[in-house]
Amino acid sequence: MRGSRGAAAVLGLAGALLLAGCAAGGGGTPTTSPTTSPTSPPTSAPPSTPTPSPTETGPADQCPDDALQITVGEGDPGAGNIGYDITFTNTGSAPCTLRGFPGVSVVGDGNGTQLGQPADRTDARVEDVRIAPGGTAVAPLQAVDIGSDGGPLGDECPTTTGDGWRIYPPHSFRAFFVESPGIAACTGSRPWLTVGPVRAG
């Protein structure tokens, strides 16, 4: 009698475990519970300056920003455009290299506000420009001669005057300000500046 009670108890326990397993497994289908991972504290938004693509990487011996002096020559008007030379001088003690296009825009309002569109790039071929200490590289810049009334761009180019140029060396995220008080600027959405890649100065 005691053996019959023990067997019944074992069978009852096995049955209970089987029912519990079916209920927990959803009829035998395995389930996975979501996992959580530690979250990092929020970080500030990255700067809006676009990063160079892998095909636009700078040279290994890129000229450091603190070894560059940037100037913009006097405008040379002709055929509805004004041509400028952006000159990069190596003020360091070692040779260095620039490659590609500078970033260029006109700024104003006394606080560096960008006025209108930045310069578009030409389709000119890019090359490495090795600059000795004291040497230079030059990038050509063209502006539509907008005058005070939009010039050939007309109503697409509301005009104002700026304080100067904001220039990024090729593959650099540091902006240089080159003063040019009273420079004409187009504040509309129409591109009016075009810049070429650096060449030997």
pLDDT of 56 reads 64
Mean pLDDT of the chain: 80
pTM for this model (two decimals): 0.72
Token pair 């697409």 is at which residue? 156
- DSSP for 58-82 reads PPTTBPPGGGEEEEEPPPEEETTEE
The predicted pLDDT at position 3 comes to: 46
Q: What is the pLDDT of residues 46-70, one digit of tens each?
A: 333 343 434 468 999 999 999 999 9
The two three-digit tokens of residue 79, written as one number: 């055929």
CA distance 181 to 159: 15
Give yes or no for residue 119 having a pLDDT over 70.
yes
DSSP conformational letter for 118: P
pLDDT higher than 70, residue 35: no
Distance in angstroms (rounded) separating the CA atoms of residues 198 and 94: 19
Helix (H, G, I), strand (E, B) or coil at 112: coil
